[in-house]
Structure 1
Amino acid sequence: MSCSEDFLEVKPLGQYSDAAVWTDAALVNAYVNDIYLGQQYGFQLEMLASLSDISMTKRAEVNPILNSEISPSYVSILDPAHWLTSFRNITWNNLYDNIRSCNVFFERMAESELEGEEVDRLAGEVHYLRANFYYWLMSFYGGVPIVDRAYGPDDDFMIARNTFEETVNFIVADLDAAAAALPLSGDKARATRGAALALKSRVLLYAASDLFNSNATWTDGYANPELIGYTGGSQTQRWQAAQDAAKAVIDLGVYNLYGGTSPASPEEARENYINLFLNNGNEEDIMISFYDDINDGDWQAPSPGRFYGPNGYHNWGNHTPTQQLVDSYEMIDGSEFSWNGPEAENPYENRDPRFYASILYDGADWRQRPDDVIAADPEGIVQTGYFENADGSFTAGLDTRQSPIEDWNGTYTGYYLRKFIDPSIDHQYETQRLPWRQIRYAEVILNYVEASLELGQEAEAKTYLNMIRNRAGMPEVPAGESGEALMDRYRNERKVELAYEQHRYFDIRRWMIAPQVIENVEGIRIEHQYASDDIDYEIIQVQNRNWQNKSYLLPILLDEMNRNDLLIQNPGY
């Protein structure tokens, strides 16, 4: 009989029992690794940048978002079940799934006999990860239900939204716990003390911003303003907390701007900014994520060069910079670019070095063309313009939508994304596997600058803003610039420095400037005149957009509302 019992009690060979996981440090580590996969990885087919004013995606699926037409019944590409998977990790459902995994970790580890530095470190990492998932929820929805335990099938799932203030406090508490438990430095693909403090600086910066301190003036009488912002307290104190949080990261003394903060030549600055993203980690990185799709046959698996590169290279030409972004790059002397100035005759000359490191424009040097195209362009020069023939007709450039190479996936705006993309790779066939920068030190410095400006500490703000500009090869902020002009300079600096890094979508909302900047997308029509060096530039409109104030926050999906009678919907939906 005992032999029979032993035979029936054989452990499964293909999986571990739940009990076994929490008694083995290696398995606990593997469990936490799995939670890390819930982070958003930015090199997706679709990018948050194209849901803002700086970029344009060609996919019509995003149009309801850009035109403020989403509803609790339909949130377009932000639905967890949408066939385009780019934003799946940051949908309500999946964020809460990952939060549950964090809560399971805390509950099971409380019962486990495992202990030691590794266990403490893992607990710190999970505090960071749970805070990260709640950060996304807070940024999209405002106050959300705070779930700090793993619900079982017999539990009551009716839970109300916490206030915005309670949500922020919970995130900050998790990050403080993470910072106390994590090492100062280490593997940057895992949370460290710096990562926890840096995310705290971002959360508190958002929390101090006007959107969440406007007493819901944009909602036309929303009955629950405590869910979408602060209803009391001091905004100044919140800016002070944001400044303190950013300074705490700076004072760690473990991070530096890639290339340093000494004034750089335009050539050095361009190469610094290009190479900042073309490595597996550097002194500016605070938190990074790797993605390797060697065993992943999904055509949507991240491949930035293929997704975003020019169609004349057999790439897919998505997420093209808008003319509005291109015009945001200053002249090399620090003045604004203007189509009414003499610079309009040669609009791509003498610009901020980050322009050349971020944007592929007509006439830009790129990489060698594919074998079937190289005869038409031996030098690898981007062609988004049109070339006049003797009879007055025009031949389309290789990288236009009328390209003789591929005429279905070219740019509408006249530009392509250069930032992040390794020119040494043939992206038609190879997949770039460089990490996504979740947080880098430049953001922390900019966070500090913004909080300092809001506190009226303009000299302090200029000192740190000039660090970014020196690295970028740009002149320092004029000594006499202050007030609104200085804030505008900062906001533009943040736009171009952090372009395509998942900040602009939230920045234009928390600053409450979305009604002004969400406008019809502009591009450019470029015509090279026959037998001449003259080039004509015409600004054109290429995509309609419409802003409504309800778009400051997302709607909670109708399915969630139907499952939980205690949920209160966001304003406008």
Structure 2
Amino acid sequence: MKKLVYIFLATGVVLFSSCEKDLDQLPISNASTETFYKTNNDFIQGINAVYNSLRGYPDRQLNLSETRSDNLYAVSDGGVRDWEGINSFHKGISSNPYVIEAWEANLTGIYRANILLEQLSKNGNLISDENLKKRLEAEARFLRAFFYFDLVRFFGKVPLVDKVVLANEALTIPRSPVSDVYNLIIADLEFAGNNLPSPEVYAAADKGRVTKFAAKTLLALVYMTRSGPTYDIEGPGLNSNEWSKASGLLTEVILSGKYSFSASYQNIFSYTNENNAEVVFDVQYISGFSPVMGATFPWVLVPDTWFQSNGKATQGGLTIRPVSNNMLASYENGDNRKAFSIQTGYIYNNVVETQSFFKKYVDLTKVPSNRLDWPINFIVFRYTDVLLLKAECVLHGAPGSQTTDVDDVVNQVRQRAGLTSPVSNVTLSRLMEERRKEFAAEGSRWHDLVRSGLVTSIIPAWIALDDIKGQIQPFVKGYAVYPVPQDQMDIKPGLYSQNSDY
């Protein structure tokens, strides 16, 4: 059963008190932790609490990466929507709830990881199984790196905290250079990759815990992101040219034999085929429990009236967040990913909606009675991604491979999508366009554009073509990252400086 992520919530143990807002989201010592950790199970509950901080990760990628990109044209539909300023590049989004959530939720995850790591250091001798102790440390360090990487990609510089600190200490910690944050991320992921088990080692009840290959995949993506352009801002790219390091790690994942390329695109996302051979790492959910432990991301990009037109209950109260015309036109005839991922038009109360939206994660036969309790996992890394990331490294000159290998991988992906005409001499731009359709509505598009350096050309061109309502602001390179939330700026004026162009 898929219990591990949220089982901690059902225990009734008040181990981690809710962090207060603002800078107090940084780790603050809690006296209850000093007496809680006594048995193996106590430490397992502790790591489950760290996993719990992943719960909102899928929604965040859809709201801040997918919506930011040229995949959606999410401008005003007559009301004020939180996603509108994200998609339209408004300068004044430092108080946007999606931006605030990304900062606070990731720091909460880091806080929980630091608590567990401190207790492993202080009381780890109480764990009867040395292998379990090492694995728990590796899981916590993977998750801490995961949350920090999410912060760096969205905000650039962030406060660097690798231990438990008190509230008054938190108020003295500035944002650290991105390179320093990356040093911690890399050290954590190297430890995780060396000490986490392979996927088959976990018992059925533990499926979904991170593995050594999830750590290697994430570390590869870290090296690739560092290798991206700087845009002359303090963002995620350092122009570090570490494509070969990334390629080597991805090759390890490919050669492990633990994953395989699915013959069916649709089957990768089936509710009855979770934990399939494509999945390298996912966020696990389970429905039907109290408190609620299901997902909310399936309806994030879906208008309520479509659910209602199909006789289903209201979900998030959302209006349509349309797929851009440019995205729709990017699909070739016969591409079966389009119909699976996108709903084109519907009728509700005799009103015809002609715009399209992403419905990739919705199975209308699986709609839960509670809109917060969808029973589907979110795939963070899948094997197809590993193959295409490897191809990207090859295009950047990683040794040991040839551009023909890139063509082979891209054609393999296209053939699964029903496209019979092969392509050749694939360029970086073409690879990113193929990734766009393969990972549509999976929250990768904005990150791909920033990492590849294409964001400064593709986004302005898209705005010129698709902004028929004239509501998107001109794109400037500082928008490669988001602003620091205003409440963080206000808690101690002068501690943080705002990102450029905001």
> TM bucket by the smaller chain?
0.7 to 0.9
Q: Could you list the runs of 5+ residues in structure 1 that have no partner in the other structure?
A: 1-12, 81-87, 220-224, 260-271, 332-350, 362-383, 385-398, 524-539
Aligned to 2:163: 149
> In the alignment, is the contact (CA less than 8 A) between 1:195 and 1:287 conserved in 2?
yes
Aligned to 2:387: 445
| Residue from 285, 289, 295 that aligns with 2:279 | 285
Instruction: Establish whether residue 552 from structure 1 lines up as the match of residue 480 from structure 2.
Output: yes
Distance 1:440 1:463 in 2: 18
Distance 2:437 2:290 in 1: 33
Distance 2:368 2:323 in 1: 19
Distance 1:432 1:14 in 2: 25
> In the alignment, is the contact (CA less than 8 A) between 1:449 and 1:461 conserved in 2?
yes
| Residue from 362, 376, 383 that aligns with 1:434 | 376
- Aligned-residue Cα RMSD (Å) equals 3.2
Q: CA deviation at 1:160?
A: 3.1
Query: Structure 1 residues 492, 171: CA separation in 2 closer, same or farther (over 3 Å shift)?
Result: same
Distance 1:498 1:46 in 2: 12
Counterpart secondary structure, 2:251: helix
Instruction: Establish whether residue 78 from structure 1 lines up as the match of residue 78 from structure 2.
Output: no
> In the alignment, is the contact (CA less than 8 A) between 1:314 and 1:428 conserved in 2?
no
Instruction: Establish whether residue 114 from structure 1 lines up as the match of residue 126 from structure 2.
Output: yes
> In the alignment, is the contact (CA less than 8 A) between 2:217 and 2:250 conserved in 1?
yes
Alignment of 1:517-532 (within 5 A): 517=459, 519-520=462-463
Aligned to 1:97: 108
Q: Look up the equivalent residue of 2:134 and give its one-letter code.
A: D
Q: How many residues align?
A: 442
Aligned to 1:389: none
Q: Look up the equivalent residue of 1:572 and give its one-letter code.
A: D
Structure showing the higher helix proportion among its residues = 2
Distance 1:305 1:78 in 2: 16
Q: Look up the equivalent residue of 2:410 and give its one-letter code.
A: L
Query: Structure 1 residues 129, 235: CA separation in 2 closer, same or farther (over 3 Å shift)?
Result: closer
TM-score normalised to the size of structure 1?
A: 0.69
Larger Rg: 1
Aligned to 2:192: 178
| Residue from 423, 426, 430 that aligns with 1:478 | 423
Q: Look up the equivalent residue of 2:266 and give its one-letter code.
A: I
Distance 2:391 2:359 in 1: 27
Distance 2:136 2:151 in 1: 23
Instruction: Establish whether residue 569 from structure 1 lines up as the match of residue 501 from structure 2.
Output: no
Q: Could you list the runs of 5+ residues in structure 2 that have no partner in the other structure?
A: 1-11, 16-31, 313-317
Aligned to 1:339: none
Distance 2:387 2:61 in 1: 29
> In the alignment, is the contact (CA less than 8 A) between 2:91 and 2:501 conserved in 1?
no
Alignment of 1:158-177 (within 5 A): 158-177=172-191
Counterpart secondary structure, 2:42: helix
| Residue from 396, 407, 412 that aligns with 1:454 | 396
Q: Look up the equivalent residue of 2:430 and give its one-letter code.
A: R
> In the alignment, is the contact (CA less than 8 A) between 2:61 and 2:442 conserved in 1?
no
| Residue from 239, 256, 262 that aligns with 1:258 | 262
Deviation per CA, 1:138-180, whole angstroms, max 9, x where unpaired? 1012232221111024536322333222222221111111111
| Residue from 395, 408, 416 that aligns with 1:463 | 408
Distance 1:274 1:169 in 2: 38
Aligned to 2:430: 489
Deviation per CA, 1:65-115, whole angstroms, max 9, x where unpaired? 23322347x3323243xxxxxxx3xx2223222212111111111111234
Instruction: Establish whether residue 129 from structure 1 lines up as the match of residue 143 from structure 2.
Output: yes
Instruction: Establish whether residue 507 from structure 1 lines up as the match of residue 452 from structure 2.
Output: no
Q: CA deviation at 1:228?
A: 5.9
Query: Structure 1 residues 306, 495: CA separation in 2 closer, same or farther (over 3 Å shift)?
Result: closer
| Residue from 351, 357, 362 that aligns with 1:421 | 362
Q: CA deviation at 1:240?
A: 1.6
Query: Structure 1 residues 356, 67: CA separation in 2 closer, same or farther (over 3 Å shift)?
Result: closer
Which moved further from structure 2: 510-519 or 20-29? Answer: 510-519
Deviation per CA, 1:254-279, whole angstroms, max 9, x where unpaired? 111122xxxxxxxxxxxx21221013
Query: Structure 1 residues 474, 183: CA separation in 2 closer, same or farther (over 3 Å shift)?
Result: same
Query: Structure 1 residues 63, 429: CA separation in 2 closer, same or farther (over 3 Å shift)?
Result: closer
Aligned to 1:64: 85
Identity %: 23
> In the alignment, is the contact (CA less than 8 A) between 2:358 and 2:441 conserved in 1?
no
Q: CA deviation at 1:14?
A: 6.7
Query: Structure 1 residues 157, 469: CA separation in 2 closer, same or farther (over 3 Å shift)?
Result: same
Q: Look up the equivalent residue of 2:253 and give its one-letter code.
A: V
Deviation per CA, 1:22-64, whole angstroms, max 9, x where unpaired? 2111111111111111114425896342222112456622222
Query: Structure 1 residues 14, 464: CA separation in 2 closer, same or farther (over 3 Å shift)?
Result: closer
> In the alignment, is the contact (CA less than 8 A) between 2:261 and 2:383 conserved in 1?
yes
> In the alignment, is the contact (CA less than 8 A) between 1:68 and 1:550 conserved in 2?
no
Q: Look up the equivalent residue of 1:329 and give its one-letter code.
A: Y
> In the alignment, is the contact (CA less than 8 A) between 1:209 and 1:510 conserved in 2?
yes
Distance 1:44 1:182 in 2: 26
> In the alignment, is the contact (CA less than 8 A) between 2:72 and 2:324 conserved in 1?
yes
Alignment of 1:245-324 (within 5 A): 245-259=249-263, 272-278=264-270, 279-292=273-286, 294=288, 302=296, 304=298, 308=302, 310=306, 312-314=309-311, 318-324=320-326
Distance 2:408 2:61 in 1: 38
Aligned to 1:394: none
Q: Look up the equivalent residue of 2:310 and give its one-letter code.
A: Y
> In the alignment, is the contact (CA less than 8 A) between 1:121 and 1:181 conserved in 2?
yes
Deviation per CA, 1:208-230, whole angstroms, max 9, x where unpaired? 122x3x5x1xx6xxxxx5x6643
Which moved further from structure 2: 513-522 or 563-572? Answer: 513-522
Distance 2:256 2:407 in 1: 21
Query: Structure 1 residues 65, 307: CA separation in 2 closer, same or farther (over 3 Å shift)?
Result: closer
Distance 2:63 2:170 in 1: 36
Aligned to 1:381: none
Counterpart secondary structure, 1:167: helix
Instruction: Establish whether residue 52 from structure 1 lines up as the match of residue 88 from structure 2.
Output: no
Distance 2:61 2:408 in 1: 38
Deviation per CA, 1:234-287, whole angstroms, max 9, x where unpaired? 744x1222222222221222111122xxxxxxxxxxxx2122101321000011
Alignment of 1:210-229 (within 5 A): 210=229, 212=230, 214=231, 216=232, 229=237
Distance 1:165 1:564 in 2: 24
Q: CA deviation at 1:495?
A: 0.2
Distance 2:149 2:226 in 1: 11
Query: Structure 1 residues 104, 14: CA separation in 2 closer, same or farther (over 3 Å shift)?
Result: closer
